[in-house]
Each structure stands twice: as C-alpha cells, then as structure tokens.
Amino acid sequence: MAQTDTADGQRSGNEARPGQSGASRTPNRWRDGGSWRRGWIPAAIALVVAVLMFFHSSVPNSVGNLGSLLETFLPWTGLVVPVLLAVALVRRSATALVALLVPALVWLNLFGGLLTDKSSGGGNLTVVSHNVNADNPNPAATAKDIAGSGADIVALEELTGRALPVYERGLAGTYRYHAVEGTVALWSKYPLSGTQPVNIRLGWVRALRTTVATPRGAVAVYVAHMPSVRVRLDSGFTAGQRDHSAVALGDAIAQEPVRRVILLGDLNGTMNDRSLSPITAQMRSAQGAAGDGFGFSWPASSPMARIDQIMVKGIEPTRSWVLRNTGSDHLPVAATLRVA
C-alpha cells in the first residue's frame, strides 16, 4: 500500500496543476536545438541560387547558351526566396532562415535599384518603340494607340507589307515624317535625313539608321529587330543568330559619326544578357537609368522579360515607362530624354 500511495503521489505531482497550461509541456521546436539541425536541403538550395545569381556571368554559354538563358530571366530567380522561406517556417529551421539571407541580399544588390522610381523632371524628346506583331489582328487600333502616346518619335518593328499602309494612314496626322526599311520603320515630328538600312547579317532588312533634326540638334536614331530566340530541349537557348546580329549592330553604332545616338527596337534580349554586350557596353538603358520597376514588355498578356529596349548615347534619360497593351504580343516601351 505504501508503494502504491507513493506511486499515486508521484503521478498526482506530475499532473498539471489548476491554472497551468498543458501547452507548456509541448516541446518548442524553435528552442529544442533541432532548429539548427533541420532544413539543410533548403539551406543548400538557397546558397546555390545565391551563387548562380552573383556569378551569373560565369555560367558558360558553351552548352545550350545556358548563361544567356539564365540572364534573360535572372530577376525571377528571386522567387526562390519566398518559396524557401515558407519551407523554412514549416520545418522550423533556423539554418534555412539564415541561409536565405544570402540570396535575398544578392538579389537586392542586383535588382533593388529597379524597385525605386528613378525618373526626374524635364526632358525634351519623347520616344516610343513597339513590336506591333506581324499577326496583329487590328493594326488600325494599334496605330491609334501609338498616335495618342504623345511621342515625338515612334519606332515600329515587325511590319508587314499588308499592314504598313494601315500604319501610314493611322500615323500620318500626328507624324509628318517617316522612313521605312524592310520590316522596321520610324515616324517623327521632326525632319529625317540620311536614312539607310543597317546590315545586321540576316540576309534581309530588319534595321535602319536615320538622322532626326530635333530642335536641340541632330540625333542619330537606329531602329532594330534582332533575330528571335527559342528554348528547345534538344539544343537549349538558340540565340546564335541574334548574337551574330548584335555584333554587327554594335559595330555600326560604334562607327556612328553623330555624337548623340538613340537605339529603339526589339532586341530579343535583356540588359543582363552578356551576348548583347557589343551594344550594351557602349549605350545606356533608359529603363535602367530612369525607370520605375522592371519594365517587362513581353509577352503582353503576362510580361516576364524586358526585351524591347530604348538605349541612348550622349543623351540623358529622364523617365521611362511601359504603355498599355495595343493588341500586339509585345507592350510598347516609352522614354523621355533630355537632348542637351
């Protein structure tokens, strides 16, 4: 009986006293020491993503142009952070949470500047570039939207022989001057001269160069539509023809005698893509210098990349933005520039 009473007493002593929460007996998975032993897999993934972002230029293009493919969608690698954050919280892993700080800081270092509005006042020349889509079902409506943009200069790419007269009629009331070379064209409120095709090594014309007589002096304007790229399982990121054209266009711009230069067009590549360096190394992106956000332009229904570009040399961008959908598979991009 004494042993039984003792056992009963021990049991009663271990029972929760009145007012004592039973939750206090539940182990705290953040404080049990295991939070540093759990979550090594998400922690490792976080560090790998951080390395890929920071050293993206070291990812080789020799196999399927993987480096350029990564750089095209580089901003989206940041989505790994909230996904792994959810995993770390579910697993209650302190290790994974600490590791997540690395890709988060790398991403902010690369793209944090794009999250702020860098536009400034002033500017005296507004330009628009738009790939209007060869299969555009309503070019008249697209022309109306572009005419109402308020731009002084408009570059259009992917024009067809059937649609060109529609754009010419739709833009004639706003733009007195225009020039067409192959499948690209430029409309301007100011006189044009010296218009000629630019050989970007395609075998047909998809780029032009002209001089615009702005109120602040002559500006050389290039309009280009670089070759398309594709992602294929058997060959990877097929961008070889585009890269070849980028070298040719970069050479033409480098030899341009006019000091102030504007490049408008669908480059089928982002500013992060190393393969466009023959162009990007000598020009500034209006979006990067004076934009607000990433300025994604393609595809229009759900933009994921900025492949339509406005670039300048010898000119200061003051504002950059993306216009609304016009019915094309690309969104028009616009910028206000200060021509000194």
pLDDT of 73 above 50: yes
The domain boundary, picked from 62, 86, 115, lies at 115
Both 97 and 132 in a single domain? no
Both 132 and 95 in a single domain? no
- pLDDT tens, 255-304? 999 999 999 999 999 999 999 999 999 999 999 999 999 999 999 999 99
Q: How confident is the model at residue 84 (pLDDT cuts 50, 70, 90)?
A: very high
DSSP state of 149: T
CATH number, domain of 163, equals: 3.60.10.10
Distance CA 111, CA 310 (A): 19
pLDDT of 79 above 90: yes
The domain boundary, picked from 79, 96, 115, lies at 115
Q: Please report whether residue 4 resides in a domain.
A: no
Both 292 and 219 in a single domain? yes
Both 187 and 247 in a single domain? yes
Q: Please report whether residue 194 resides in a domain.
A: yes
- pLDDT tens, 182-228? 999 999 999 999 999 999 999 899 999 999 999 999 999 999 999 99
Both 74 and 48 in a single domain? yes
Both 88 and 151 in a single domain? no
Residues 6+ apart with CB under 8 A from 178: 168, 171, 185, 186, 187, 188, 192
The values of phi and psi at residue 258, to 5°, are: -75, 135
Q: How confident is the model at residue 35 (pLDDT cuts 50, 70, 90)?
A: confident
Q: Please report whether residue 322 resides in a domain.
A: yes
- pLDDT tens, 297-337? 999 999 999 999 999 999 999 999 999 999 999 999 999 99
Distance CA 227, CA 202 (A): 8
Average pLDDT of the chain to the nearest whole number: 90
Both 82 and 133 in a single domain? no
The domain boundary, picked from 115, 142, 170, lies at 115
**CA atoms in the 13 A half-sphere facing the CB of 314:** 16
User: Partners of 178 in the beta sheet?
Assistant: 187
Residues 6+ apart with CB under 8 A from 84: 42, 45, 46, 96, 100
Q: Please report whether residue 14 resides in a domain.
A: no
Lay out the sheet containing 207-214: strands in order across.
192-197, 207-214, 217-225, 261-266, 308-313, 284-285
CB 276 within 8 A of CB 301: no
Q: Which of 189, 224, 193, 191 is nearest to 208 (CA)?
A: 224
Q: Which amino acid is at 254?
A: A
Q: Please report whether residue 22 resides in a domain.
A: no
Q: How confident is the model at residue 4 (pLDDT cuts 50, 70, 90)?
A: very low
The values of phi and psi at residue 216, to 5°, are: -100, 10
With a pLDDT cut of 70, the percent of the chain lying above it is 89
Distance CA 262, CA 223 (A): 9
- Exposure b/e, 272-297, CB count within 10 A at least 16 = b: bbbbbebbbeebbbbbbbbbbebbbb
- Tokens at residue 109, please? 């270092």
Q: Which domain holds residue 223?
A: 125-338
Q: How confident is the model at residue 235 (pLDDT cuts 50, 70, 90)?
A: low
Both 147 and 40 in a single domain? no
CB 264 within 8 A of CB 126: no
Q: What is the DSSP string of 46-86?
A: HHHHHHHHHTGGGS-STTTTHHHHHHHTGGGGGGHHHHHHH
Q: Please report whether residue 120 resides in a domain.
A: no
Both 105 and 146 in a single domain? no
Both 155 and 276 in a single domain? yes
pLDDT of 27 above 60: no
Both 132 and 81 in a single domain? no
Count: domains in the chain:
2
DSSP state of 26: S
Q: What is the pLDDT of residue 2?
A: 45
The Cα angle at residue 203 between residues 164 and 299, in degrees rounded to 5 = 55
Q: Please report whether residue 298 resides in a domain.
A: yes
Both 154 and 234 in a single domain? yes
Q: How confident is the model at residue 91 (pLDDT cuts 50, 70, 90)?
A: confident
Q: Please report whether residue 1 resides in a domain.
A: no
Q: Which of 312, 339, 333 is nearest to 149 (CA)?
A: 333
pLDDT of 47 above 80: yes
Note the pTM of the prediction, 2 decimals.
0.86
